Chains A and B, each alone.
Chain A
């Protein structure tokens, strides 16, 4: 049973435009949410996180929005760059610092130059 879902397996965006990656979850106990980026032949790398007490967290070109009532979060990348092309995983846990994250199946983002 997939508790974290990324329903779009792929997304293509023109360079300079906004990329919006979506994630839904089912477990209301989740309190901390993260996005990881993965390039081929590399392990996932941490991108940005948000705790449930916030509805937005921003880091440079990356912003994560959290809608707890809808159990939905999204990652916005503005402006998108070709180097952003990767697989993005949404993850959730019941507390900050938990090592047993629940991951989505990933969305492959392609930024077209």
Chain B
């Protein structure tokens, strides 16, 4: 079956702009989470959605937001971009019976 799909894979924005990233989980997976990966910080949990509801949220400012649609697809949005938002944004869907997270290849955001 198809894996977790993230779009776009790469994008470049300038400070002050906003960006929307998309994630399609593995078919049948209802829980989607987002992570930010930066050098030296590892993967930092952003938020998790299940059945269109945010269940958990990490320690990120309100500029970072997300949502989940009825088909389990998810989007995350970052507004008023800052240079420090440059990172790889990873989406993961959860296989609930094993607890295994399956990650997408990520969306690499560069903020100039």
Of A13-21, A58-66, A100-108, the one with at least 4 CB within 8 A of chain B: A100-108
Q: Is the CB of A99 within 8 A of B55?
A: yes
What bracket does the count of chain A residues touching chain B fall in?
20 to 34
Residues of chain B with a CB closer than 8 A to A43's CB: 4, 90, 92, 102-106
CA distance A110 to B92 in the complex (A): 26
Known: A97-B94, A99-B92, A99-B94. A89 touches B58 (CB 8 A): no
Residues of chain A with a CB closer than 8 A to B31's CB: 99
Q: Which residues of B contact A98 (CB under 8 A)?
A: 99
With A43-B90, A45-B103 known as contacts, the answer to whether A97 contacts B96 (CB < 8 A) is yes
How many chain B residues have a CB neighbour from A under 8 Å? 28
* Nearest CB in chain A: distance from B106 CB, A: 6
Check B105 against A102 for contact (C-beta < 8 Å). Answer: no
Contact with A along B21-57 (1 / 0, CB 8 A): 0000000000111010000111111001010000110
Nearest chain A CB to B21 CB, angstrom units: 13
* B101 sits at the interface (CB 8 A): yes
Chain B residues lying within 8 Å of A2, measured Cβ to Cβ, are 42
> Which positions 32-77 of chain A face chain B at CB distance < 8 Å?
32, 34, 36, 41-46, 49
Question: Separation in Å of the A113 CB from the closest CB of chain B?
Answer: 27
Asked whether A101 and B42 contact (CB < 8 A) given A43-B4, A43-B90, the answer is: no
Contacts of B44 in A (CB 8 A): 103
Q: A96 to chain B: which residues have CB within 8 Å?
A: 99
Q: How far is the CB of B104 from chain A (nearest CB, A)?
A: 5
CB distance from B22 to the nearest CB of A (A): 15
**Can you sample 5 A-B contacts with CB below 8 Å?**
A44-B90, A46-B102, A96-B99, A99-B55, A101-B101
9 interchain residue pairs of minimum CB distance = A43-B103, A105-B42, A103-B43, A97-B99, A99-B48, A99-B33, A100-B56, A96-B99, A103-B42
